Each structure stands twice: as C-alpha cells, then as structure tokens.
Chains A and B, each alone.
Chain A
Amino acid sequence: MKRGRCPDSGDADPPQNGTSDDGMRVRDPEAGASNIDSQPDTNDEVDSAHRRDIRSRYRVLISSIQKNREDIKITEVLDEANVLFKEVHQAREAALDSQLLVVASDLGKEKASQLFSEGLSFDPSTFVQHTLSFMGLNWLEEEGESSDEGAATSHGSLPRNAWRRLARRAEACFRSTPAFHFMYGSFQAEPPPPKPRVERQRKAPTKEAKRIMPTQLKKMEESLQEATEKEVERILGYLQQYHAQDPTSPISYYEFVINPHSFSRTVENIFHTSFLVRDGLARMYMDEDKMPCIGPVEDGMAGDGRAPVRKQCVIAISLQGWRELRRDLDIQESMIQPPKSQTK
C-alpha cells in the first residue's frame, strides 16, 4: 500500500516512521512545532478553528475505517487523508494522521490475509447448505411451521439428531482419545476399616431408645381410640334414654347436641353423634317445621330395606351460629353431659 506524499506540504518528520507499533505515541511537540510552523501568529483564532476542523475530519476518517471494516475502500480514505495532510502543520494533527495510517494498515493487512486467490474458492453459504442437507434438513417444510423457530433463515427444520449425525461423520477426521471413566466410579482403598467402628457405636444407643418407645406409644393409642368409642356409646345411651322418656315426640337435633356453656363441647357432641348416624344407630330426619331431628334406630325399623339408604350431609357450626342457636332455641341446659374425666 503506497501512499504518495506531496513534498511541498510539510518539511520535517513525516510521522510514518515510528508509529507502526503504537499509533498513539506523540512525538515531542516542541521539536515538531518549531520545524513545521511556517506561518507566524497572524489570525490565531482562524488558525485554531481550522486546525480543529482538520482534527475532526481525521477522527471521522478513523472511525469510518473502524466501523465499516468490511466495505470500506481504503484507497479512498487514503486519498482523503492525503488532502488533509497538506494542511497539517502541527504535531497534534500529525499524530492523528499517524493514527489513521496505523488503523488503515491494520485493515489492509487483514484484508490481504483474507485474500486467497489460488484454487477453487470456498463459499461459506454453500458450505452451510451442503452441511445442512447432510444433517437431514427437510427443505420442503412450509414457512409457516418454521416461523416460530426464530429469526435466522427459516425454510425447513433440522431433525433432532442432526448435529449427532454430523458429528459421527466428522469424528473420523479427529484422532481423539475416548474419554476414560471408571466403570464403577472412582474409589480409594482406604476408608473401609473405620466404618464398622462407627456403625457399632451408633447401634448401641438406638436399641435402648427403641425399647422405651413402645411402652409409651401403647398407652397413647389406647386412650385415643377408647375415648372416642366410649363417648359415642355414652351419647347413644343419652339418645335412647330421652327417646324412651317420650317415644312420640321428636328430639330436636340442635337441642340434643348444643351445650350452652361450651362451644367446644358442642362441636364434640356433633362429632360423636355423626358416628352414631354413620353406624346406623341413629337417624336424622326433618320435622314439620323443617327442623332437623334425631332419634335412635330400633331393630324393627331396619326391616324397611336391607340396604340402608345412605344419605350424607355436612354440618358446620361456627361460634356465631352456636350463639344464635342457643338464643333462638332457648337452650339452657345441655342434654349431653360432658364426660367427667378428661385426658387432654
């Protein structure tokens, strides 16, 4: 890359020489100025504005090279720079000029190394096409389907094992070693001896702990189950008792279960009563006022149908509801007495 220099432009130090490695090095400004500065101090302001203009034009040229590395015509840039250089009188602009040269020559070197004139040329796009075909690309697929695959060239889609297929064939070009893995995983020969010791120590305490556990558990389980069953039986007793007192008049369900002194007892009563209904020992029905009533099931009544008709309902009661019912039904005493012993 030759660059023609007009000899009449600048006298001293053409900045080409020392800047091939580092374009930013600036020569001694004092020496430069004294040699080059041919114009004395007339029109200083105009002069500095002019120089600023030159510097900015240099910078434009430099950035244009850096931005358009592919498309730029270096010769045009150099021609422009030549014209600019005629106006350069001071070191500051000269430094920019040298920077421009460095950038331009780097680009030139890059382009030269990319030149490959001998033999058949190699086109990446063609290469891509052939490789994609080898990988099993289905070219004929419609554009609509592949539009969701993203930006780059649509048309067709790659099968799942496309890259594997390519790799299998490409591996033949490599002399690589298969990776080495232990079959059962790596291990060291040392650890086994300490292990039995640790295990034995641990076994002793656990045995003792286990022995204590069963006795405690048995107690608890008994109490829970028995309590519920006892309660249910007790309530059945109440129900039968009240029914026996007056077989004809129905027992209001709410009157039966509500304990006016305790909401939690009420809930318990409802809970236990539900067992009676479930087991077919009590039945619930609606009276003329559409109020729920409860009564014991007598043996004779089962003769109605062998398979009892099962109906389910869910009864919910809140604190508010309990208060309202208690007030509206004017319940003063509970029909179900709370159990005497409580193990809670």
Chain B
Amino acid sequence: MCQIKTGGSCSLILQLIKRFIASYTINKSSSAGEMTQRKSSGKRSSTAVEEEEDDSRFTQPTTSQVQKGMEKLTKAQIDEKTTELVQYILMKDQKKIPIKRADIVKNVLKEYKNVFPEIMNRVQQRFEQVFGFKVVEIDTKNHVYILINKLEPAEGSEMTSGNPKTGLLFVILSLVYMKGGVVPEGLVWNTLKKMRVDPGERHPEFGDVKKLVTDEFVRQRYLEYTKVPHTEPVKYDFTWGQRAEVEVSKHKILEFLGELHSQDPQRWSQQYKDASSQRSSRAPQPSTSSQR
C-alpha cells in the first residue's frame, strides 16, 4: 500500500482513494467487509454500540507533535486517560477479539489523540508492572492490538477448569503446525470427525463447530482461513493466526505432543528447529506466574 504523506490537498484525494480501494478489497479477516456494511447502515447515535472507524483518518503524530501535546496536559489528565485505556483494553480482551487503534482513538482518547504514542507507552508500562500483561501489535499495517500474558503459565496450573474450546483449538493448531504450517480445511474436518466433532452436526459442547472454527477462532486471530485460488468448489486452507504466533509456544506444543505420542519431540526435527528459533526470538521470560 502506498504511504500517505500529509500536506497538500492531494493527500485528501489519496486518502479517499485508499478508503475506496480498501472497502472493495476482499480482506481475509473480512474487516473491510464489515466496514462497508456498517457504513451503509448509516449513523447510529447510541453509545452502547461502538462504531468502527476507518483507521486511515488517523495519522501517526510526530514526536515533536506528541511533545507539544503532552505539555498542554496536566498529569491528572494523562493519568486519567491512561487508566481509561487500560480498562478499555481489559474489557475488550474478554472476548479475545483484537483491538483496533481506530477504536481506541475514537472511543477513549478522542481529543487526546495527538498524544496517542505517549499514552500507549504508559499503558504498556501499567500492564507490565501491575498485571504482568503485554500489549502486542499483531498487525502493524492495520494497527491491531492484543493482550497476552507476559508470564509463563505456572506448573501445576492444571487445577483450573479448562475451557473446552482451548482443547479444540489445540488440536487444530497442532495439526497445522505439524503438517508444515498450511493445511487444507478437509484435513482439519476429517481429523475433528475422528474426534467425534463433526462440523456438519451440532456438537453438545461446541455447538456450531464450523462457525466456531472458521469465524470465532479466525476473528480472535488464532487461525487464518484463506481461500485457495482457482478451486471449484471453493476450498480453504488453515494457517496459524497472528494471535497464535504471539501467544502460543511451539516448544510447549511439541512437548505435549511428545508426551501424547510417548516420543522425544526432537525427533520431529523440522518442527523442533522451528520451535527453538521462535523461543530464542522471544525475550527471555521471568519466573513463573501465580496467576491461577
């Protein structure tokens, strides 16, 4: 995508063109499709429903602009906004749907949007120091954030009652990972069927399985469901989503798989190499958490 340089009336035209193109592009996560739907439904004045705003209106302020903006604000105002944003992110995290920068600007920062980077820094600090969480931008192009745990899950944390969806997700993620990172949807459905989870039938625990896997998990960015070109009838592939790349430890997946198969995980040499590189690229983690 072309860079939008501010200044001059042509920038407005460029922004309009960019928005026009964005709304007609078939986006994988279908966020563009959502945007066109919302725009056509007209304005809604209720504050309960948050409208999603096109991020292209927000231009990243320069450092000098941020500094100037910060000088005008009192400490109390800055703290208040920081706290509000922390709470906002915590609430949005409940459903595990990623948070858009445009929403943050529109719903929380509003007139403070010119100091967005500074507030974000403070929010990061707050999360890390108080909660042990980390705000990660999983999509630098569209500026989408998620909240992950900075700390590793503690040993013996099996005391918690697990969310069954996590189990299902684990099966799919493992399958995709062990099969090279891309898997045709047919393989996923067949494997699930062998586990008594049939996408064609209503499952007592998961309900509409197909919707859960292709819609909920995809919106949460655990999975990506992409169309395979030139297929008739249309077929899709599954890959790891942006959240999974950041939140899931490949090393731990291999470890568990090794336990299941009574095997040394190093025998899966390709995957093991890949997992080790993921481990080293991530910052070293402090001691275990007592979050549970």
Contacts and interface: CB of A to CB of B under 8 A. Distances in A.
Interface of A: 23, 66, 69, 102-103, 106, 110, 113-116, 118-120, 122, 124-128, 130-132, 134-135, 149-153, 158, 163-181
Interface of B: 90-91, 93-94, 96, 131, 133, 147-153, 157-158, 160-171, 174-175, 178-180, 182, 184, 187, 190-191, 193-196, 198, 201, 205, 228-232, 235, 247-249, 252-253, 256-257, 260-261, 263, 267-272, 291-292
A180 B272 CA distance: 34
A302 to B, nearest CB: 68
A173 B248 contact: yes
Nearest to B186: A70
A177 B175 contact: no
Chain A to chain B: the 5 pairs with minimum beta-carbon distance, closest first: A167-B162, A163-B164, A166-B167, A119-B269, A170-B170
Given A103-B230, A106-B230, A173 B253 contact: yes
19 contacts: A116-B179, A119-B267, A119-B268, A122-B178, A127-B257, A130-B260, A131-B171, A131-B195, A135-B167, A167-B167, A168-B160, A171-B162, A172-B252, A173-B248, A173-B256, A174-B166, A175-B248, A175-B249, A180-B91
A174 B248 contact: yes
Contacts of A171: 153, 157, 160, 162-163, 166
B168 A174 contact: no
- Among A114, A165, A180, find the residue whose CB has the most chain B CB atoms closer than 10 A: A180
A149 B196 contact: yes
B152 A175 contact: yes
Contacts of B168: 163
Contacts of A66: 231-232
Nearest to A153: B194
A128 B178 CA distance: 13
A174 B220 CA distance: 14
Nearest to B271: A119
Interface of A is mostly: helix
B242 to A, nearest CB: 14
A331 to B, nearest CB: 70
A152 B180 CA distance: 27
A146 to B, nearest CB: 10
B95 to A, nearest CB: 8
A69 B234 CA distance: 12
A167 B93 contact: no
A152 B229 contact: no
A149 B195 CA distance: 12
- Among A125, A167, A175, A178, find the residue whose CB has the most chain B CB atoms closer than 10 A: A175
Given A106-B229, A124-B187, A171-B160, 13 more contacts: A102-B230, A119-B272, A127-B191, A131-B171, A150-B198, A164-B167, A169-B256, A171-B166, A172-B153, A174-B166, A176-B149, A176-B247, A177-B147
Nearest to B195: A128
B162 A164 contact: yes
A131 B269 CA distance: 21
Given A119-B270, A152-B193, A131 B260 contact: yes
B167 A178 contact: no
A125 B179 CA distance: 13
B270 A116 contact: yes
